[in-house]
A and B are shown apart, each in its own frame.
Chain A
Amino acid sequence: MPELFRADALRHVFPDGTAALDNVSLSIAEGEFLIIAGRNGAGKSLLMRHFIGLSKPSSGAVFYRGQPVPAQIPLIRREVGYVFQDTEAQIFGQTVEEDLAFGPANLGMQGQDLEDAVQHALKEAHLEGMENRRPNTLSGGEKRRLAIAGVLAMSPRCVILDEPFANLDFPSVQEILAVLEVLRAEGKTLIVLTHEIEKVFALATRLVILDKGHIVFDAPPGEAQQSDFGSSGLVCPYQECYPWLMTH
């Protein structure tokens, strides 16, 4: 599959001298379902901010479809959807329908095309029948799905989700996973940033673990050993890691 994102020796140093990303090299191909895992502050979100052009590297370079990210911003905005952890900040409409129309309208869609984009996003995020609901009356899981639908309405080829399971109960997590399965079946590139890897482990095709600004693991999820998780502050997703659970 063609390469979508590439980071070459990417380094990001904060003003206080802390290297939040240190010599990170990573290539992401189209169609991958990638988990970028790591404890809080590992640099997951920052790495993605570089990929979508919201941050500038201290050194190194980031590419989108083989071209430097700064030159590809319009293409990235059209092809890459980013769902922030703080979904409230991402909601602009007074109703669900109005919020979903925000992105397509910015892309210049009009009339029936815009309505179709909204309806398609509603269906994909399982939000049918909620068009006229006010976003602040939605549950946490529904808000998260609205934020996902907001980017899906723009027909992205790649969707990046930052901590999509944060603060969600089990049914809401299941709803998000159902949406991810639909997107995976459509062949979209999915990048999930999370420290709750056990929730999405079975769906992913590749696992990257970041720790203190370095990539410490990069392989298919099944190849990860128990020690890879523990040393990075992550919960081991394998059942054998919890033998006491089997006794009941």
Chain B
Amino acid sequence: MADDTLNPFAFEAGKSWLAVFHPVAKLTFLIAVASAAMRSEPGLLAALFLIAFIEQFSMPRAGKGALYSISVLILFSALVRGILPGDGRIFDVGTLSDSAIYALRLLTVYLYSRLFYATTRVSEIGDWMTAFTRTMRRIVGVGQRDVSAQSSAAAAVNNRPTIHNNNIRQASILSDPGMLFSLVLLFLPRIFDTYQRIKEAGEVRAINLSRRNLRRSLAMLEQLIIASIVQAWRTAAAMEIRAYSPARTLRLQKFAWGDWAMAGAAIALLFLAKL
């Protein structure tokens, strides 16, 4: 599996006090803080940046991935603000102070995003997506059996949990967007890992893929596609064996007082940023 230190958004359970908060509260706060960071005065921006920066120390080391992303952000800011200022020049050095502020805004959003993703399980977000979909389907009267089966499915037979009936098992995975979301994020590092292995296998056989040889690149792409299909097929079999059902139990965290406080802080922040 790919080394997650390359992924600055990899989940790290329990390393930050933010991990205990409700994902919806954190998402609300993230939206508010991102909006504020992009529009606020430099003073508030600096404060927001400082808080996010300090909180990063409670997280595991960011790794090369984060440093690379930050470098791209700063370069992007300099280019966006400095390139073609409109007076015939190609680049205006005088706009670099603006660029610095702009970079700080993007960096602040980046750091809060990282805090959100690194302290929130994909399944937490996914379960809320599925819960929302189930509610909407209930409102419009679609797939009610899927949802109502939830409680009956837990009825015990000889003190053992029972499985959903066949109708429920045949419900479409499309009614479970949370699982689709989780699977996509599960697959990305695995595909990246497969790519690395194929690349290394080519390199030890003296195939230099960095030369951009189209035929070799296509051969590698073919290998990657085949390996990904095999991986998807194995995952599907494993899901089947572990009795996957779109009517699965969702593990939804309850909204606690701390979550309300975080949502309140989000509103206060929007007020402070005069949005």
Chain A residues within CB distance 8 Å of chain B: 52, 54, 74-75, 77-78, 81-82, 84, 86, 88-90, 92-95, 98, 101-110, 113-114, 132, 134-136, 150-151, 154-155
B241 touching A77 by the CB < 8 A rule?
yes
A93 to B162, CA, bound (A): 22
In the bound complex, CA of A106 to CA of B238 (Å): 13
Check if B234 sits within 8 Å of A86, measured CB to CB.
yes
B154 contacts the other chain (CB 8 A): yes
Known: A88-B190, A110-B154. A103 touches B242 (CB 8 A): yes
Partner of A74 from the list B13, B154, B169 (CB cut-off 8 Å) is: B169
Residues of B within 8 A of A155 (CB): 160-161
Interface string of B159-201 (1 = CB under 8 A from A): 0111111100100000000000010001001100000000000
- In the complex, the answer to whether B249 meets A109 with C-beta atoms within 8 Å is yes
Q: Are B243 and A77 in contact, with the CB atoms below 8 A?
A: yes
Q: 7 closest pairs, A vs B, by CB?
A: A108-B153, A89-B234, A136-B1, A132-B13, A77-B243, A105-B249, A108-B154
Q: Nearest Cβ in chain A — how far from B12, in angstroms?
A: 8
B145 within 8 A of A: no
Question: Do B121 and A95 touch across chains, with their CB atoms under 8 A apart?
Answer: yes
In the bound assembly, the distance between CA atoms of A103 and B123 in angstroms comes to 14
Pick the most buried of B1, B161, B234, B240: most chain A CB atoms within 10 A of its CB: B161
Bound-state CA distance A157–B14 (Å) is 34
Smallest distance from the beta carbon of A167 to chain B beta carbons, Å? 14
Whether B123 lies near A94 (C-beta < 8 A) is: yes
Bound Cα distance A113, B169 (Å): 21
Residue of A nearest to B183 (CB): A92
Question: Nearest Cβ distance between residue B34 and chain A, in whole angstroms?
Answer: 23
User: Is A84's CB under 8 angstroms from B234's CB?
Assistant: yes
Is B11's CB within 8 Å of the partner chain A?
yes
Q: Which residues of A contact B154 (CB under 8 A)?
A: 108-110, 113
The 8 Å CB contact of A78, one of B160, B165, B182, is B160
Contacts of B165 on A, CB cut-off 8 Å?
A: 74
Tell me whether B161 and A104 are in contact (CB under 8 A). Answer: yes
| B239 CB–A CB distance under 8 Å | yes
Q: Which residue of A lies closest to B168 (CB)?
A: A108
Q: Are A105 and B248 in contact (CB under 8 A)?
A: yes
Interface residues of B in 225-262 (CB under 8 A from A): 231, 234-235, 237-245, 247-251
A132 to B60 alpha-carbon distance, docked (Å)? 14
User: Does B150 lie at the interface of the complex (its beta carbon under 8 Å from any beta carbon of A)?
Assistant: yes
Give B1-19 as 1s and 0s: 1 = Cβ < 8 Å from A's Cβ atoms.
1101000001111100000
Select from chain B the residue with minimum beta-carbon distance to A138.
B1
Cβ of B243 and Cβ of A88 under 8 Å apart? Answer: no
Is B121 a contact of A98 with CB atoms below 8 Å? yes
Shortest A203–chain B CB gap in Å is 23
* A104 to B163 Cα, complex, angstroms: 10
* Chain B interface residues (CB < 8 Å from chain A): 1-2, 4, 10-14, 121-123, 149-150, 152-154, 160-166, 169, 182, 186, 189-190, 231, 234-235, 237-245, 247-251
Contact of B161 among A89, A93, A113 (CB under 8 A): A113
How far, in whole Å, are A94 and B23 apart by their CA atoms in the complex?
15
The answer, among B2, B14, B166, B238, for a CB contact under 8 Å with A132, is B14
Contacts of B12 in A (CB 8 A): 134
B153, A107: Cβ atoms closer than 8 Å = yes
15 contacts between A and B (CB under 8 A): A78-B161, A86-B234, A89-B235, A89-B238, A92-B182, A92-B186, A95-B13, A106-B244, A108-B150, A108-B152, A108-B161, A108-B164, A108-B248, A114-B251, A136-B189
Closest partner residue, chain A, to B160 (CB atom): A155
List residues of chain B with CB within 8 A of the CB of A101: 251
Q: Whole-angstrom distance from the CB of B83 to the nearest CB of chain A?
A: 40
Q: Contact check, B150 vs A92: say whether CB atoms are below 8 A apart.
A: no
Question: Are the C-beta atoms of B239 and A110 separated by less than 8 Å?
Answer: no
* Bound CA span A81–B242, Å: 8
A132–B20 Cα distance when bound, in Å, is 13
Residue from B153, B154, B190 having most chain A Cβ neighbours under 10 A: B154
Are B13 and A90 in contact, with the CB atoms below 8 A? no
Closest residue of chain B to A54 (Cβ to Cβ) is B237
Of all chain A residues, which has the CB nearest B239? A92
B166:A84 contact, CB within 8 angstroms: no
Q: Are A93 and B249 in contact (CB under 8 A)?
A: no
Distance of A101 Cα from B169 Cα, bound (Å): 18
* Residue from A75, A89, A106, A113 within 8 A of B245 (CB atoms): A106
Inter-chain contact B161/A107, CB cutoff 8 Å? yes
Looking at the assembled complex, report how far the CB atom of B224 sits from the nearest CB atom of chain A, in whole angstroms.
16
| A106 with B248, Cβ < 8 A, contacts A74-B163, A89-B231, A132-B13 known | yes
